[in-house]
């Protein structure tokens, strides 16, 4: 069994334990300003930045299914106070009774995403460019917002999120000679496992190998620093992204999906 498969295990108990580990890694890699708990439901809120994963309810135990309507009402008030719509982010750790309740109430599903893992000892990085990490957070933020096509008004909030990342973070930016940003990626390294996040290429520079180059550079960098396993998150509808990661040897560990009263696009 490869190390990446060992992360999630083969039987239900070890698989759920592996998913909890990957969920915790994801939370630390993209930290919310405030995290509260209602039982084992992690309530993540970030007033300064509107990303759904930073402003969502994340159930972490399939058995935590008591008083679902009452808890949703209380949490919804908390989100309203923070100026955010309530959004659930449901992984295989979500209670089936909660999923059934949201189905009955007509909460739509949207933006299903895949969490993938890879054994770095099996990833072929021959010919990879050892790109120097980017040190300036403010310039990285500007580059990230630019290639994602997001508003520059989000810069202060994203900067705060990146500054709050506790594990070792390494930023990569591909630029034109004139300085325009073409692509970005970030690696989060924690003990023997690393996440590769925020991978994006400017719309008019896609399908030129820039994304592959950035991902390869990030994987090479963390492997040289002791990472044995890598993980990524990518939307299930992003076929080019999935094909890219699969070409490096990533395989699916699990999926998660967002649920809200109305689809929330951020």
Ordered structural domains, the chain, with CATH: 3-114 (no CATH), 118-254 (3.40.630.30)
pLDDT at 179: 84
Calculate the CA 107 to chain-centre distance. 22
Q: How far apart are the first and last CA of the chain?
A: 38
152 SS3 class: helix
Per residue of the chain (266 residues), give pLDDT as tens: 455 544 555 458 789 999 999 999 999 999 999 999 999 999 999 999 999 999 999 999 999 999 999 999 999 999 999 999 999 999 999 999 999 999 999 999 999 999 999 999 999 999 998 888 999 999 999 999 999 999 999 999 999 999 999 999 999 999 998 889 999 999 999 999 999 999 999 999 999 999 999 999 999 999 999 999 999 999 999 999 999 999 999 999 999 999 999 766 65
pLDDT at 5: 47
Note the pTM of the prediction, 2 decimals.
0.92
Partners of 107 in the beta sheet?
Answer: none
- Residue 259 phi, psi dihedral angles, 5° rounding: -135, 135
Partners of 193 in the beta sheet?
Answer: 190, 229
Structure tokens at 141: 């933020």
- Residue 181 phi, psi dihedral angles, 5° rounding: -80, 130
**CA–CA gap between residue 13 and residue 177 (Å, rounded):** 51
Give how far Cα 146 sits from Cα of 49, 215, 234, Å.
16, 18, 19
| Strand arrangement, sheet containing 168-175 | 34-38, 41-45, 56-59, 87-90, 251-260, 109-119, 229-235, 193-201, 181-190, 168-175
> How many C-beta atoms surround the C-beta of residue 235 within 10 A?
12
pLDDT at 209: 95
**CA–CA gap between residue 80 and residue 87 (Å, rounded):** 11
- Sign of dihedral through CA atoms 100, 82, 265, 90? negative
């Amino acid at each position: 069994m490869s190390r990446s498969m060992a992360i999630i295990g083969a039987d239900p108990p070890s698989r759920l334990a592996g998913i909890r580990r990957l969920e915790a890694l994801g939370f630390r890699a993209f930290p919310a300003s405030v995290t509260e708990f209602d039982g084992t439901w992690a309530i993540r809120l970030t007033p300064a930045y509107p990303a759904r994963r930073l402003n969502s309810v994340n159930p972490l135990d399939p058995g935590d299914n008591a008083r679902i309507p009452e808890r949703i009402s209380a949490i919804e008030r908390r989100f309203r106070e923070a100026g955010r719509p309530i959004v659930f982010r449901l992984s295989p750790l979500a209670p089936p009774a909660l999923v059934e309740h949201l189905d009955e109430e007509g909460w739509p599903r949207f933006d299903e995403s895949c969490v993938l893992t890879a054994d770095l000892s099996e990833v072929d990085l021959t010919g990879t460019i050892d790109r120097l990490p980017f040190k300036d957070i403010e310039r990285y933020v500007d580059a990230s917002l630019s290639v994602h096509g997001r508003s520059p008004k989000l810069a202060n909030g994203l900067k705060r999120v990146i500054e709050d990342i506790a594990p070792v973070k390494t930023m990569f930016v591909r630029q034109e000679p004139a300085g325009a940003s073409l692509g970005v990626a970030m690696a989060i390294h924690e003990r023997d496992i690393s996440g590769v996040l925020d991978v994006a290429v400017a719309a008019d520079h896609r399908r030129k190998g820039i994304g592959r180059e950035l991902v390869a550079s990030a994987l090479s960098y963390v492997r040289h620093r002791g990472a044995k396993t890598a993980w990524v998150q990518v939307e299930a509808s992003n076929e080019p992204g999935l094909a890219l990661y699969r070409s490096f040897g990533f395989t699916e560990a699990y999926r998660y999906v967002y649920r809200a009263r109305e689809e929330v696009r951020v």
